[in-house]
C-alpha cells in the first residue's frame, strides 16, 4: 500500500515540476519568437531558392538521375563504413574468445589487417578483381589512379552499380580485408606474428581477388549463372577454407587434444568482448548485405535488411535451442555463433530468396554451426573461434540455399551453386596450403612451445593486455 502512495507522490511531483517548467518556458518562448518548425517552412513560404551554379553544373554532368545517383552513392559509402565496423567486431569477438595472455596479439593482427588490406587493395587488389575484360580466371592488378576514378557518373553502372569509382573502391576494399580477418581468428593463440602478417598480405592481395573476379569481376562463374549476392562464398567460404588450410598446417594449440581422445576446452577470456563483437558484426552486416545492392533502390535494400535481420535472429534462436538440447545448457558462445551463422548463410541470397526462406536459412545455419563446431573439434581441427564452421561451412550452406529458397522465377541452379561454392572454397584452400606451406617451410608458422605457454602478448609484443596490478609495479 505504502508503495502505491509513494508512487503517487512521485507522479504528483512530476506533474508539479511540469507546471513550474511550463511557466518558465512560456517566458522563454516569448523571448525567442517561437515559430513552428515544420509548418513555418510551408506557410511562411520563402521564395524557392534558385539552385546555385555548382548544383546546375552537377546536374548537367549527371543528368536527370543525379539525385538517385547521389543517394545511392551515399548509401554505399555508409555501407562501407558499416563494413569497416565489422573489423572491430572481429577484433573484439576474436580477442574475447582468446585467452587473456594472447589478447594483444589478436588485437594487433586485426589492426594490421585492416591497414594492410586497404593499402594492398589500392595498389593491386581492386584492379585485379574488377579487371574489365579478362580471361575469366585471373587478371593482374595495378595501382588505382585518380584519372580512372575521378569522372564516374551514372553511366558507370546504372542502377546496378550506382556510385562513383571511389565509392566502388572503398566499399570493396573494406570487404577484401575480411577474408584475412576470418583466418586470423582460426589461427589465434599460436601463430607466429610475422608469418601471419606475410600470409595475410598475400592472401588479401593475390588470393582474394582471383575468386572475386570469377564472379563479381565477370569471370567464368558469372558466365555460368552462379549467384552470390554479397559473398557467402566469395568472402566467407573463401575465408573459412583458407582458415581450414592454415589450421591444418599449423596444428592444434598445445593441450587442446589430450591422449585418449579427450578434448580440453580452452576458454575465451571475456564474454562481454565476444558479445560486443557479434552485435557489431550483426550491425555491420546491414552494410555488407545492404550495400551489396549497389544502389539505394528502395525495395531491394529494404528487403535485404529484412532477410538479413531475420536470418540472423533465426540463426541465434536455432543455436540457442539446439545447444540447449544437445549440450544441456543455453550456451552464450553458441548463441553468438548462431547469429553469425545465420548472417553468413543469408549473405548469398539476401535479395533473392523468399521471406520465409530467410527464416529457414537462418534456422538451418544456426543448427549446422553447432554440429559443425562439435565435428571439427572431434576431428581435431582446432579453431578457437569457430571460423571454419561459421564462415566456411555456413558459407557453403548459404550459397546452395539460394537455389533451394529462391523466389519464383529466380532460376538459380543447385548444381551451379554447389560448383561455384566448392570451386571457391577449393581455391582458397589450395592457395593457402601452398602459400602458408611455403612460409612454414621457410620461416616457420608457429611460435615456440614456451612462447605459446607464456602467451603471445609477451612473446611477440612484450606487452600485456591488462597490465594493471593495483599501482605501479613496473620499473
Partner 1 sequence: MKLVKAIIKPFKLEEVKEALSEIGIEGMTVTEVKGFGRQKGHTEIYRGSEYTVDFLPKVMVDIAIPDDVVAKTVEAISKAAKTGKIGDGKIFVLPVEDAIRIRTDEKGDGAI
Give me 153's grid cell. Answer: 557518373
Residue 467 Cβ vs partner 1, minimum distance, rounded to whole Å = 8
User: Which of the choices a second copy, partner 1, none does residue 334 contact, using the CB cut-off of 5 to 8 A by kind?
Assistant: partner 1
CA pair distance 141, 125, nearest whole angstrom = 6
- Told to check if 168 binds partner 1 by CB under 8 A, we report no
Interactions with a second copy, residue window 34-73 (CB under 8 A): 34-42, 44-46, 48-52, 54-55, 57-58, 60-71, 73
User: Which of the choices a second copy, partner 1, none does residue 305 contact, using the CB cut-off of 5 to 8 A by kind?
Assistant: a second copy
- Told to check if 277 binds partner 1 by CB under 8 A, we report no
User: Which of the choices a second copy, partner 1, none does residue 71 contact, using the CB cut-off of 5 to 8 A by kind?
Assistant: a second copy
User: Which of the choices a second copy, partner 1, none does residue 386 contact, using the CB cut-off of 5 to 8 A by kind?
Assistant: partner 1
Helix axes 208-215, 165-186, angle to 10 degrees: 130
Residue 288 Cβ vs partner 1, minimum distance, rounded to whole Å = 25
- Told to check if 261 binds a second copy by CB under 8 A, we report no
Give me 161's grid cell. Answer: 552499380
**Are 321 and 314 spatial neighbours (Cβ–Cβ below 8 Å)?**
no
- Told to check if 290 binds a second copy by CB under 8 A, we report yes
CA 341 from chain centre, in angstroms, equals 12
Say how many residues touch partner 1, by CB under 8 A.
31
**Burial classification of residue 199, based on how many CB atoms lie within 10 Å of its CB (0-12 exposed, 13-18 middle, 19 or more buried):** buried
CA pair distance 228, 172, nearest whole angstrom = 15
- Told to check if 130 binds a second copy by CB under 8 A, we report no
Q: List, in sequence order, every residue forming a beta bridge with 263; answer none if it has no partner.
A: 257
Cβ distance to a second copy smaller for residue 136 or 410: 410
Residue 219 Cβ vs a second copy, minimum distance, rounded to whole Å = 23
Residue 371's alpha-carbon distances to 355, 368, 392, in angstroms, are 25, 5, 13
322 φ/ψ angles, rounded to the nearest 5 degrees: -65, -45
Q: How many CA atoms lie within 13 A of 291 on its CB side?
A: 29
Candidates 129, 252, 348, 368: give the one binding a second copy (CB under 8 A). Answer: 368
**Are 386 and 94 spatial neighbours (Cβ–Cβ below 8 Å)?**
no
Interactions with a second copy, residue window 136-165 (CB under 8 A): 143-147, 150-155, 158-160, 163-164
Residue 409 Cβ vs a second copy, minimum distance, rounded to whole Å = 6
- Told to check if 451 binds a second copy by CB under 8 A, we report no
- Told to check if 84 binds a second copy by CB under 8 A, we report yes
CA pair distance 157, 255, nearest whole angstrom = 53
Interactions with a second copy, residue window 202-241 (CB under 8 A): none
CA pair distance 424, 30, nearest whole angstrom = 69
CA pair distance 69, 331, nearest whole angstrom = 45
User: Which of the choices a second copy, partner 1, none does residue 147 contact, using the CB cut-off of 5 to 8 A by kind?
Assistant: a second copy
Candidates 264, 299, 409, 415: give the one binding partner 1 (CB under 8 A). Answer: 264
Interactions with partner 1, residue window 87-116 (CB under 8 A): 101
Residue 135 Cβ vs a second copy, minimum distance, rounded to whole Å = 26
Cβ distance to partner 1 smaller for residue 237 or 274: 274
Q: List, in sequence order, every residue forming a beta bridge with 446; answer none if it has no partner.
A: 191
Annotate 82-148 with three-state secondary structure: HHHHHHHHHHHHHHHCCCHHHHHHHHHHHHHHHHHHHHHHHHHHHHHHCCCCCCCCCCCCCCCCHHH
Cβ distance to a second copy smaller for residue 135 or 155: 155
- Told to check if 145 binds partner 1 by CB under 8 A, we report no
Q: Which residues here bind partner 1, judged by CB under 8 A?
A: 101, 255, 263-265, 267, 326-329, 331, 333-334, 370, 373-374, 377, 386, 450, 453-454, 458, 462-463, 469-475
Amino acid at each position: 500500500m505504502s508503495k502505491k502512495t509513494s508512487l503517487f507522490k512521485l507522479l504528483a511531483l512530476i506533474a508539479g515540476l511540469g507546471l513550474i517548467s511550463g511557466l518558465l518556458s512560456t517566458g522563454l518562448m516569448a523571448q525567442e519568437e517561437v515559430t513552428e518548425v515544420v509548418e513555418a517552412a510551408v506557410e511562411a513560404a520563402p521564395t524557392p531558392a534558385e539552385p546555385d551554379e555548382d548544383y546546375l553544373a552537377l546536374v548537367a554532368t549527371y543528368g536527370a538521375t543525379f539525385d538517385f545517383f547521389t543517394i545511392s552513392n551515399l548509401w554505399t559509402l555508409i555501407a562501407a563504413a558499416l563494413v569497416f565496423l565489422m573489423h572491430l567486431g572481429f577484433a573484439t569477438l576474436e580477442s574475447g574468445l582468446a585467452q587473456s595472455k594472447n589478447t594483444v596479439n589478436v588485437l594487433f593482427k586485426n589492426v594490421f589487417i585492416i591497414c594492410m588490406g586497404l593499402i594492398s587493395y589500392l595498389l593491386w587488389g581492386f584492379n585485379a578483381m574488377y579487371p574489365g575484360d579478362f580471361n575469366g580466371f585471373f587478371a593482374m592488378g595495378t595501382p588505382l589512379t585518380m584519372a580512372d576514378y575521378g569522372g564516374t557518373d551514372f553511366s558507370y553502372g546504372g542502377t546496378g552499380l550506382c556510385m562513383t569509382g571511389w565509392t566502388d573502391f572503398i566499399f570493396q576494399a573494406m570487404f577484401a580485408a575480411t577474408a584475412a580477418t576470418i583466418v586470423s581468428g582460426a589461427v589465434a593463440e599460436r601463430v607466429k606474428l610475422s608469418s601471419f602478417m606475410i600470409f595475410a598480405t598475400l592472401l588479401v592481395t593475390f588470393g582474394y581477388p582471383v575468386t572475386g573476379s570469377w564472379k563479381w569481376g565477370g569471370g567464368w562463374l558469372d558466365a555460368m549463372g552462379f549467384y552470390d549476392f554479397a559473398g557467402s562464398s566469395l568472402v566467407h567460404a573463401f575465408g573459412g577454407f583458407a582458415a581450414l588450410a592454415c589450421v591444418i598446417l599449423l596444428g592444434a594449440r598445445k593441450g587442446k587434444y589430450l591422449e585418449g581422445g579427450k578434448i580440453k576446452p580452452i576458454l575465451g577470456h571475456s564474454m562481454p568482448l565476444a558479445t560486443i563483437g557479434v552485435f557489431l558484426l550483426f550491425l555491420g552486416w546491414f552494410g555488407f548485405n545492404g550495400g551489396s545492392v549497389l544502389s539505394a533502390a528502395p525495395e531491394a535494400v529494404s528487403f535485404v535488411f529484412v532477410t538479413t535481420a531475420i536470418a540472423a535472429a533465426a540463426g541465434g534462436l536455432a543455436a540457442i535451442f539446439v545447444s540447449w538440447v544437445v549440450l544441456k545448457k543455453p550456451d552464450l558462445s553458441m548463441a553468438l555463433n548462431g547469429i553469425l551463422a545465420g548472417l553468413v548463410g543469408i549473405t548469398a541470397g539476401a535479395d533473392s530468396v523468399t521471406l520465409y526462406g530467410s527464416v529457414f536459412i537462418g534456422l538451418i545455419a544456426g543448427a549446422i554451426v553447432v554440429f559443425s563446431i562439435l565435428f571439427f573439434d572431434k576431428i581435431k581441427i582446432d579453431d578457437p573461434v569457430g571460423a571454419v564452421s561459421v564462415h566456411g561451412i555456413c558459407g557453403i550452406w548459404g550459397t546452395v540455399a539460394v537455389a533451394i529458397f529462391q523466389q519464383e522465377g529466380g532460376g538459380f541452379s543447385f548444381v551451379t551453386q554447389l560448383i561455384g561454392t566448392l570451386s571457391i572454397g577449393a581455391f582458397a584452400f589450395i592457395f593457402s596450403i601452398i602459400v602458408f606451406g611455403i612460409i612454414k617451410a621457410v620461416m616457420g608458422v608457429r611460435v615456440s612451445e614456451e612462447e605459446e605457454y607464456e602467451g603471445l602478448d609477451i612473446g611477440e609484443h612484450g606487452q600485456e593486455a591488462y597490465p594493471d596490478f593495483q599501482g605501479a609495479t613496473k620499473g
